[in-house]
Amino acid sequence: MHPFLENTSKTVQYFMLWLVYALLQTYVMYSIVALPVWMLLLDGFIHAAVFGCLGLVLWSVVKFGNFSALTLYQRLVNQIAMALLSIVFWLGAGYGLFYLIFGQEFSYQLILVLPIRGLIGLLLYLIIIQYFKSAIETKEPVEEIQEIITNPEEIRIKKVPESEILERVAV
């Protein structure tokens, strides 16, 4: 299960995280972009919602992607590609929704802050990925211990089968 959806308190924390992000983004963008506060606030909520949903999807990628089996070069390429795709999707979806709501004349002003948002998105991405990796590393031993505690009768010492001597080798 997703670490932020395990219980109600973590889910509330996840939503509060994105609410605070939306408010901080509105505060920062107010001095940069000449748009009304309510538009910037709506833009902040749009970007926070898109990144929040993207975080839910990234959990599955981190949990089920077997990155440890790859070489260092392959892991690096995969991580960079995943970061770029996530940030481009986040910026494109956020900007696209703002464009659909307000049109070209207002959304044009937000193009100037795309590099700033890209950097912020990269930092958020790195924080979320590191949190997911640490949640996976700490959760696996706990799940094994809980399984042992709940099902002690299923614990058996397995006898290692003796090796057989091969008489023929098929080619």
Within 10 angstroms of residue 145's Cβ, the number of other Cβ atoms is 10
Whether residue 17 has pLDDT greater than 80:
yes
User: Amino acid identity of 147?
Assistant: E
CA 147 vs CA 28, 133, 138, 140: distances in Å:
48, 22, 15, 11
Contacts of 132 (CB under 8 A, 6+ apart): 3, 58, 59, 62, 63
Q: What is the pLDDT of residues 110-143, one digit of tens each?
A: 888 889 889 999 998 998 888 888 877 776 554 5
Asked, for residue 170, whether it belongs to a domain, the answer is: no
Task: Say how many domains are in the chain.
Answer: 1
Asked, for residue 51, whether it belongs to a domain, the answer is: yes
Closest alpha carbon to 55 in 28, 21, 24:
21
Backbone φ and ψ for 165, nearest 5 degrees, come out as -90, 125
Asked, for residue 3, whether it belongs to a domain, the answer is: no
Instruction: Provide the residue range defining the domain that includes 93.
Output: 8-154
User: Amino acid identity of 162?
Assistant: E
Asked, for residue 168, whether it belongs to a domain, the answer is: no
Q: What is the pLDDT of residues 20-45, one digit of tens each?
A: 999 999 998 898 888 899 999 999 99
What percentage of the chain exceeds 90 in pLDDT? 31
Asked, for residue 46, whether it belongs to a domain, the answer is: yes
Backbone φ and ψ for 14, nearest 5 degrees, come out as -65, -45
Asked, for residue 61, whether it belongs to a domain, the answer is: yes
| DSSP code for 169 | -
Asked, for residue 162, whether it belongs to a domain, the answer is: no
**Can you give the pTM of this predicted structure?**
0.72
Contacts of 83 (CB under 8 A, 6+ apart): 122, 125, 126
